[in-house]
Structures are given as C-alpha cells and as structure tokens.
C-alpha cells in the first residue's frame, strides 16, 4: 500500500473513531466511500483495522453493524442496565430453558447448601445477531415459582427486584477467554474454535447471602470491559 493510500485510510479511521454514528447513517461500504470521497477498498481496509481494534463489529459482508459495547466491571448493574446506556439499542432476550435442577457439585460451596437451583438459559440478540449465551443459577427456595414465569424479553435483575424485593449488594466477576464449542458456537452463531469471552459472576444480596451465579458467553470482538480507579490501591466506580 502506498504512503498516500495509508494516509487516506488513516484519515477515514480517525473520522469514524470520532463519530461512530457515521457507520449507522451510511450502512454500506458504498455509502461510506461516497461520504468520505474514497474508494471502497480504502473503506474496507479502514473497517478491517477498526474491527481488529474493537471499535466496530463487521458481519460476513464486511458491513458495519454496531460499535463495541462498553461494560463497567466495577458497577453493580445488570447486563440490561448496561445496554440501556446506549441510544436506540433494540436488544431482544430469548429464554431457551427455565427449570429446576439438582445442585451442581461445583456450585455447592458458593450457595452454601444442597438446595435445588433454578437454571435459566438465555440468548440476547441485537436485531437478528446473537450477542450472548447465558446460563444463570438461582436458589429455588428463595425465588419460589420463578421457573413458571415467562421471562422472554425481561431483565432478570429488574424482575427479581420488583417481584422478590431483591437488593443486589456486591459480587465478583471472573473473565476468561475460551474457544467456542458445542452449544456456545451454535447459539452465538460462530465457527467452532472462535475466541469468546466467558464471564462468570457471583452475586450477593444486601444480607451478604449468595443469590445468583451466571456463566455468560460473549462474542469477543463485540465487547470491551473496563474499570476506573482513583488510584491503583483504591478501585471505585467513577462517573464519567
């Protein structure tokens, strides 16, 4: 690539970074090329670079879908509440399963009992594109009859607050990378072996009692996790 071509591509990248709404308004490579007055090849190369950096997500046709979602690691809020910070985000929640199961051995220490659990398996979609595949475990005695509720399209945390008077207090998250296999690849609609986030959360109520564990699987290039600290010895949420 010639120096002039690199300079033009860099200019396009900087303009998109400064205003991600451009790729909403100009929803095709042709539209972006006409807007910037450059070739479609230049636009394609710029989008590829931005996708690698995590600024935009591209589908198989190299068309921009949406910017990367920012998730605050230190804020005790639900996934739905994090999405609500974005403008005009049509997120759909689909419940794949909601049933009572025996306590898995690996969760017995966290919940501190051998009581049955409610296991809820869900998907989240942006338009028709899957964003996440989630498996949530909740205490069955604490959330009686929750397995009988239709939770499609509903924020689980908000429902628990309103109907079970739950007040989340604090929690712990563990974030790892793994390769998509089996159900994860199927429901995220990615190829086997695609890198995905696994976010394991452990949540406690205001009585310091454990109430929820979730394993959440996310397409890696659609999310960016961050935290803000006043200093390296005092990690607190800052409002910016």
**88 and 190 co-located in one domain:** yes
Highest mean pLDDT among 94-103, 128-137, 159-168, 225-234: 94-103
Cα–Cα distance, 29 to 223 (Å, whole number): 23
Domain end residue (candidates: 46, 67, 88): 67
Angle at 222 between CA 5 and CA 231, to 5 degrees: 95
Residue of 147 and 18 predicted with greater confidence:
147
Residues 204-230: tens digit of each pLDDT: 999 999 999 999 998 766 666 655 555
**20 and 61 co-located in one domain:** yes
- The answer to the question of residue 101 being in a domain is yes
**114 and 184 co-located in one domain:** yes
Residues 158-187: tens digit of each pLDDT: 899 999 999 888 888 888 989 998 889 999
pTM over 0.75: no
Q: Residue 87 contacts by C-beta under 8 Å, 6 or more apart in sequence?
A: none
**51 and 82 co-located in one domain:** no
Cα atoms in the 13 Å half-sphere on the side-chain side of 73:
14
Note the pLDDT of residue 225: 60
**54 and 82 co-located in one domain:** no
pLDDT tier at 143 (50, 70, 90 boundaries)? very high
**22 and 115 co-located in one domain:** no
**11 and 129 co-located in one domain:** no
- The answer to the question of residue 233 being in a domain is no
Report the CATH number at residue 24: 1.10.10.10
**22 and 58 co-located in one domain:** yes
């Amino acid at each position: 690539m010639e120096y002039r071509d690199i300079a033009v591509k860099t200019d396009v990248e900087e303009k998109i970074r400064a205003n991600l709404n451009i790729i909403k308004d100009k929803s095709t490579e042709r539209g972006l090329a006409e807007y910037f007055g450059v070739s479609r090849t230049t636009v394609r190369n710029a989008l590829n670079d931005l996708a690698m950096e995590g600024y935009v997500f591209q589908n198989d046709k190299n068309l921009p879908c949406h910017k990367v979602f920012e998730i605050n690691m230190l804020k005790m809020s639900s996934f739905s509440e994090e999405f609500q910070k974005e403008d005009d985000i049509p997120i759909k929640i689909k419940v794949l399963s909601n049933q009572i199961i025996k306590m898995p051995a690996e969760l017995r220490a966290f919940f501190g009992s051998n009581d049955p659990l409610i296991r809820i398996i869900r998907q989240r979609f942006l338009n028709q594109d899957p964003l996440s595949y989630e498996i949530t475990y909740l205490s069955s005695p604490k959330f009686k009859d929750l397995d009988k509720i239709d939770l499609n399209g509903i924020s689980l945390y908000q429902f628990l607050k309103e109907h079970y008077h739950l007040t989340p207090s604090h929690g712990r998250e563990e974030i790892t990378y793994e390769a998509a296999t089996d159900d994860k690849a199927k429901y995220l609609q990615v190829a086997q072996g695609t890198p995905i986030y696994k976010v394991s959360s452990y949540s406690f109520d205001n009585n310091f009692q454990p109430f929820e564990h979730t394993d959440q699987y996310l397409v890696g290039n659609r999310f960016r996790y961050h935290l803000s600290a006043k200093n390296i010895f005092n990690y607190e949420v800052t409002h910016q």
